[in-house]
Amino acid sequence: MSTEQLAATPSLSMNGTIALLSLGSGEGRFNGDSVAGLHKCLDEVEASNATALITTAEGKIWSNGFDTDWLGAHKGEAPATMVATEKLFARVLTFPIPTIAAIGGHVFAGGVMLALAHDVRLMRADRGFLCLPEVDMGVVFTPGMTALLTAVMTPAAAHRTMILGARLGAPEAAALGIVAEAVPLEELAERAMAAASALGGRDRATVAGLKTRIYADAVAALGATPPDEAMLGALWAATG
């Protein structure tokens, strides 16, 4: 699969006042171009009259996280790109309208972090796994990543995913509170729209203010510390 097919190719559309952000049909990975594209889409949502945001993807993968092939080929840009990606997570975490991740396929590594930055996560019930494989890659999470993961997940869920590297289907992820619901694929879009409609329309400044205070520690940590040499070395090794 080419870099273009691996990377997220974000696109934005509207369904009434609900913003629909698609990560595309590839692996939804984060590199310099895709992260810039995602920030641009969020700029457009903030400038619109959107009352809620739904993030989707096409195909069997929602997001597989960082584009390690791209990072390996652009080593000089890798630290700044990873910082920009963490800032993307912080931005979604404190976005001024409700956010729903409609996860229709696999979600791994940094993709899990993006999903967790959303207010509500719905996941396809019958197919797809949620996994943080960093323990098997020899990667230690950055302080920002750790702060995000532990701010949103319970200690039991964090231990199961971060330390044990468990690969979870939607029913188990729901039982651990990582996702709100395991939903049949044919109902996923409708349920996401229902959640967006129910939660939307609240004052933006209030929503952003509440999120910023609740997640203050995670927001402060995300993007504040570039990845260290040990983490980068593990990522290069993962590219083969």
CATH of the domain at 207: 3.90.226.10
Three-class secondary structure of residue 202 per DSSP? coil
Please check the confidence at residue 236 and state whether its pLDDT lies above 90: no
Please check the confidence at residue 97 and state whether its pLDDT lies above 70: yes
Mean pLDDT, residues 79-108 taken together: 97
Number of structural domains the chain divides into: 1
Three-class secondary structure of residue 50 per DSSP? coil
- Spell out the residues 6+ positions from residue 149 whose beta carbon is closer than 8 angstroms to its own: 112, 113, 116, 132, 141, 158, 161, 162
Confidence of residue 1 (pLDDT cuts 50, 70, 90): very low
Nearest to 51 by CA among 197, 191, 201: 201
Burial degree of 105 (CB within 10 A; 0-12, 13-18, 19+): buried
Decide: 54 and 100 in contact? Cβ < 8 Å. yes
Decide: 20 and 197 in contact? Cβ < 8 Å. no
pLDDT above 90 as % of the chain: 86
Burial degree of 190 (CB within 10 A; 0-12, 13-18, 19+): exposed
Average pLDDT of the chain is 94
113 alpha carbon, distance to own chain's centre: 4
pLDDT, tens digit, 9 for 90 and up, residues 3-33? 445 776 899 999 999 999 999 988 999 999 9
Please check the confidence at residue 141 and state whether its pLDDT lies above 60: yes
Q: Which two tokens stand for residue 61?
A: 């993968």
Domain membership of residue 92 as a residue range: 3-238
Query: Which pLDDT score is estimated for 2?
Result: 45
pLDDT, tens digit, 9 for 90 and up, residues 164-184? 999 999 999 999 999 999 999
Query: Which pLDDT score is estimated for 231?
Result: 87
Please check the confidence at residue 151 and state whether its pLDDT lies above 80: yes
Angle, alpha carbons 174-178-180 (nearest 5°): 55
